[in-house]
Structure 1
């Protein structure tokens, strides 16, 4: 702002440190006295020092390397994939769908995606959510009889123990 208003370098160099906090202020305090003569030099010093901490957006190519691990659930893969996809600048929906599908393990869900071509990532995620919910429901249904069997086994074990002890 001061540069746009034509404020002289000397004033900008004196005002600049009042705007600094944390590591930036420490970096400024380590500069050798009288080592900078223009604001442009000061700017260059800070840019060269802090450029390494700059986070660059990833390209869509990195999504193609994401794979669902053998032990990874679909829910976990979606979370992992979405985290990476958010770090990409202007990701194209077709590329997202292709990368997501490419990384999926072989199975019923992948087959269903190939069978019914999805055009958008939101459609893929919607279908994945339905698939996950169906899997969860089937697992819950299978676990109920097992619980009952375990309870019955525990009761019969107690009954056997009681008859052996004569109670």
Structure 2
């Protein structure tokens, strides 16, 4: 989540009420995800006296809890573990891929394929017919997950 983008979007959505600090503060939690909402609910009563103060506290919290993004080459170390299901490998892979953020889809698709066991039918299929984009890769992953589920 980008702090500046989030706050800007919120202010834009509330533009008709931007002059009402109390309302801006009261509605702000509805724009937050679960983790940020827990932070908000834990704020000491009386700490926030204006929307500007709320945004300042939110910014401090955001900066101190932000994770360092993973480098793209972290995907190269992803390997499907022996006995691991495609479903679990895919979940781990997308979690890391999302931490890296925007990037080259071809790299993401290729590193996914390289993390599969060399004797995997799915790896062979992705080598013979590489996906054209991430949507196609995800569709094919879903197909193979269903096949794997049927075998179990």
Normalised TM-score (structure 2): 0.51
Alignment match, 1:95: 107
Cα deviations by residue, 1:137-156 (Å, 9 ceiling, x for unpaired): 7x69xxxxxxxxxxxxxxxx
Alignment match, 2:78: 66
Change beyond 3 A, Cα 1:30–1:131: closer
Change beyond 3 A, Cα 1:67–1:41: same
Quote how far apart the aligned CAs of 1:47 are: 2.1
Change beyond 3 A, Cα 1:25–1:78: closer
Normalised TM-score (structure 1): 0.48
Quote how far apart the aligned CAs of 1:129 are: 3.1
Alignment match, 1:113: 126
Cα deviations by residue, 1:30-65 (Å, 9 ceiling, x for unpaired): 539xxx7x7645532342135445678766444333
Quote how far apart the aligned CAs of 1:69 are: 0.2
Cα deviations by residue, 1:88-146 (Å, 9 ceiling, x for unpaired): 544533122111012112214234433x141334257527835973x777x69xxxxxx
Aligned residues of 2:87 and 2:145 also touching (Cα < 8 A) = no
Aligned residues of 1:17 and 1:28 also touching (Cα < 8 A) = no
Aligned residues: CA RMSD: 4.6
- Measured in 2, the distance between the counterparts of 1:46 and 1:83 equals 25
Instruction: Kindly indicate whether residue 31 of structure 2 is the aligned counterpart of residue 27 of structure 1.
Output: no
Instruction: Kindly indicate whether residue 93 of structure 2 is the aligned counterpart of residue 77 of structure 1.
Output: no
Aligned residues of 2:71 and 2:100 also touching (Cα < 8 A) = yes
Unaligned runs of 5+ in 2: 1-10, 30-37
- Measured in 2, the distance between the counterparts of 1:31 and 1:96 equals 44
Unaligned runs of 5+ in 1: 141-167
- Measured in 2, the distance between the counterparts of 1:44 and 1:129 equals 47
